[in-house]
């Protein structure tokens, strides 16, 4: 039985007094899986964004390593550069940083914020290292930094912790924060070898050429540091995470869990105990049917215990170009 009423969505009114769209110049650092997807999203959504929000996004500069490589992105070739000073000289209204790693990402971030610009970044390593410093730099210079895409891919966890839940009494965080590792564990559960599972994760655009940071827990630890910073107030760099990854033998971990009728997941946990915070990333056996066991493929999940009857739980795609680029676009268009 399907019960539904059909109705038509009215188109946005275009009155003659509609405000002129503000031109927003975007500079994009990085044109890999996420950066190129963002360029395509900006192109595809430009008319809707202009009509609804009266801003016209234009990508004016793209920083890449190799300017000669062919790319399927809707940006003119002459806007590509491999020179950081030239990229920064574009003085764009918003700089999107999607290259990852500490440098030159840190230099780009600091230069943008120091001149009072807006920075949108997907860089968990940089935010885990210097998020508090960058937020302070932004405040001092009337600049702004957003980083929804740094944790949880398309899941709106960062803005939730920075806004709605800012004064909520988070006591404990338990999460699956690395989509690549989770995808690989799920595939091995289904019978694949580690090598095949890793190859599939790379083919899907989840895993880097060198997936060590995913598999050894470093990436999860960076993201946990960011969540602990936002929830508990200590600087991300000061969050000491005891970190054990799924290497060297994820197949053995899955096998051991399977023998007990359980699944294995790479779990990031963080807890406030009085004035102290404990934090860890480690493979844990979890019961079949549990929240974490049901978190499969590249999915991420974040459970926030606030001492209420139920935790607040957010889940969704934690990796992949489209969800991550959508989170960047959200930061781009949010005032």
Query: Which of positions 40-69 make contact with a copy of itself (CB under 8 A)?
Result: 45, 48-49, 52
Binding string, 114-153, against a copy of itself, x = CB under 8 A? ----------------------------------x-----
Q: How far is CA 144 from CA 24, 109, 113, 118, 318, in A?
A: 15, 10, 7, 5, 24
Considering only 60, 165, 192, 200, the residue that binds a copy of itself (CB under 8 A) is 165
Q: Does 245 bind a copy of itself (CB under 8 A)?
A: no
Considering only 21, 192, 200, 306, the residue that binds a copy of itself (CB under 8 A) is 306
- Name the residue nearer to a copy of itself (CB basis): 63 or 285: 285
> Which residues inside 3-22 make contact with a copy of itself, applying CB under 8 A?
3-10, 12
| Total residues at interface with a copy of itself (CB under 8 A) | 71
Is there a contact between 112 and 146 (Cβ–Cβ < 8 Å)?
Answer: no
- Smallest separation, CB 264 to a copy of itself (Å): 14
Question: Which residue matches tokens 């988070």?
Answer: 170
Q: Distance between CA 304 and CA 182 in Å, rounded?
A: 20
Q: How far is CA 332 from CA 30, 89, 93, 121, 197, in A?
A: 16, 20, 10, 10, 34
Considering only 105, 280, 286, 293, the residue that binds a copy of itself (CB under 8 A) is 280
- Name the residue nearer to a copy of itself (CB basis): 82 or 290: 290
CA dihedral 44, 47, 49, 55 (to 10 degrees): 120
Considering only 21, 168, 192, 199, the residue that binds a copy of itself (CB under 8 A) is 168
Question: Which residue matches tokens 């005891």?
Answer: 242
171, with CB counted inside 10 A (0-12, 13-18, 19+), is middle
Considering only 31, 62, 277, 293, the residue that binds a copy of itself (CB under 8 A) is 277
> Which residues inside 200-239 make contact with a copy of itself, applying CB under 8 A?
232-235, 238-239
Three-class SS of residue 175?
strand
What residues have CB less than 8 Å from 89, skipping those under 6 apart? none
- Smallest separation, CB 81 to a copy of itself (Å): 27
Question: Is 124 one of the annotated active-site residues of the chain?
Answer: no
Question: Which residue matches tokens 């430009």?
Answer: 46
What residues have CB less than 8 Å from 317, skipping those under 6 apart? 153, 154, 155, 179, 298, 299, 300, 323
3-state secondary structure 15-67: CCCCCCCEEEEEEEECCCHHHHHHHHHHHHHHHHHHHHHCEEEEEEEEECCCC
Indicate the DSSP class of residue 268: E
- Name the residue nearer to a copy of itself (CB basis): 180 or 315: 315
- Name the residue nearer to a copy of itself (CB basis): 32 or 205: 205
Considering only 34, 143, 279, 286, the residue that binds a copy of itself (CB under 8 A) is 279
- Smallest separation, CB 84 to a copy of itself (Å): 29
Which residues face 263 on adjacent strands? 286
- Name the residue nearer to a copy of itself (CB basis): 64 or 228: 228
> Which residues inside 313-332 make contact with a copy of itself, applying CB under 8 A?
313-317, 320, 322-323, 326-327, 329-331
> Which residues inside 175-194 make contact with a copy of itself, applying CB under 8 A?
none
Three-class SS of residue 270?
strand
Three-class SS of residue 262?
strand
- Which residue from 48, 49, 73 is spatially nearest to 62, judged by alpha carbons? 73
Q: Of 124, 144, 213, 223, which residue is the catalytic one?
A: 223
- Name the residue nearer to a copy of itself (CB basis): 101 or 307: 307
- Smallest separation, CB 3 to a copy of itself (Å): 4
Question: Which active-site residues does the annotation give?
Answer: 223
């Amino acid at each position: 039985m399907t019960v539904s009423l059909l109705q038509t969505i009215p188109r946005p009114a275009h009155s003659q007094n509609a405000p002129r769209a503000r031109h927003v110049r975007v500079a994009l650092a990085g044109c890999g899986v996420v950066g190129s997807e963002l360029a395509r999203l900006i192109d595809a959504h430009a008319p809707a964004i202009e009509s609804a929000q009266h801003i016209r996004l234009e990508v004016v500069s793209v920083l890449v390593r190799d300017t000669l490589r062919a790319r399927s992105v809707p940006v003119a070739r002459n806007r590509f550069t491999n020179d950081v000073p030239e990229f920064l000289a574009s003085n764009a209204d918003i700089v999107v940083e999607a290259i990852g790693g500490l440098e030159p990402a840190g230099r780009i971030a600091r230069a943008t914020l120091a001149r009072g610009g807006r920075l949108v970044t997907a860089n968990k390593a940089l935010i885990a290292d210097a998020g508090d410093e960058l937020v302070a730099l932004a405040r001092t210079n009337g600049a702004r930094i957003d980083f929804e895409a740094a944790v949880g891919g398309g899941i709106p966890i960062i803005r939730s912790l920075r806004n709605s839940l800012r004064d909520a009494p988070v006591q404990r965080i338990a999460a699956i924060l690395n989509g690549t590792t989770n995808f690989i564990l799920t595939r091995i559960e289904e019978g694949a070898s580690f090598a095949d599972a890793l190859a599939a994760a790379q083919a899907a655009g989840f895993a880097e050429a060198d997936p060590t940071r995913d598999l050894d827990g470093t990436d999860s630890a960076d993201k946990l540091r960011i969540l602990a910073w936002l929830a508990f107030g200590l600087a991300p760099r000061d969050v000491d995470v005891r970190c054990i990854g799924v290497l060297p033998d994820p197949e053995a971990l899955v096998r051991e869990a399977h023998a007990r009728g359980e699944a294995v997941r790479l779990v990031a946990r963080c807890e406030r105990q009085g004035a102290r915070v404990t934090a860890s990333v480690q493979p844990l056996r979890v019961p079949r049917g549990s929240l974490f066991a049901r978190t499969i493929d590249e999915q991420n999940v974040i459970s926030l215990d606030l001492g209420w009857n139920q935790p607040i739980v957010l889940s969704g795609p934690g990796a992949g170009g489209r969800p991550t680029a959508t989170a960047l676009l959200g930061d781009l268009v949010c005032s």
